[in-house]
Structure 1
């Protein structure tokens, strides 16, 4: 509206025209305030694609990520990269990807038929009917001497523990068979009962590596 003169053919009362002009000016001011708020959030690293909804329940507010942006970002960057860019946690990004159907959960590395057969075979060799935490499981009783001699060496160069690779494999597989969601701490506890503290500490590296294989944080080729 470039003219300040009332339009007599539309507004019979001059006050109506003034009211309209005042309201438009107020709307114009509110619009600029909103633009400034968006720019401030952008400069601070909090993009408009991330919103926090207060549900009224206890705890932190719910963090929502724009689905279209997240779907595009997932084709360009990793979960860590997206979380760093948006300024939110990795768990938040991962959960949003799952909730929106953009990504699917990882598969259990022990779920395939071949892996199950291998697990059953090794579990039977370790006398699966015995108690899980029975130290006698790892003594090698009943195993032929030639078999024991064949597996006495370790692939770990700094190997100092009395537990061999084959025994450690059996221990990990038995743990997985009894407790599908067992953590590495439970495996540590088993090793503490089976070995002294010094021997346990020397086997930590190998234990953590096997634990990573179980829970999918790394990959390994089993020959």
Structure 2
């Protein structure tokens, strides 16, 4: 096989990999979009490495193939972990897969009593299920982020969001997740996802997010 044919083979292999993934969990939409995004980025980077037009074309093909394969692998991992989490968790837990990371949202009203950072017993089972999924998929880092509404003093809300995020992190660690993978953050009232002018909006803003990002 000549080197000139190598980029074409790489590209064909990557496209075959993406096609083979169709029909899996969630139809593997993020596997396919990850391959497309990775291929575009790889093509641009690869084209920049050549000095002549022929070298740039060759670099673009190689970069596109490698980028597509890498992007598809990340998307496929996220699709499969999303499916695993949806099967394990109840309807009160929201899951968003944007192709770059997974965000598991747990409403604080079902995690904690008012003005408390002590977890309720029932929801710890869901956190153990999340920990099991994290242990099944070790090639990720995890941010646990606490949020509140804007009722009360901002400094107090910030402290409460940190303590609640730490309580969730502690359960994940006790369930076997390595502390080195975990980052605990309190955002207080600074990142609302709904209006704080209504009771329903404030309820949505009181939450803990577990953001899972492939390494």
Calculate the TM-score normalised by the size of structure 2: 0.27
- Please say which structure displays the higher CA radius of gyration: 1
Calculate the TM-score normalised by the size of structure 1: 0.26
Q: Which one has a larger percent strand, Structure 1 or Structure 2?
A: 2
Q: Which one has a larger percent helix, Structure 1 or Structure 2?
A: 2
Q: Which has the higher contact order (CA 8 A, sep 6+)?
A: 2
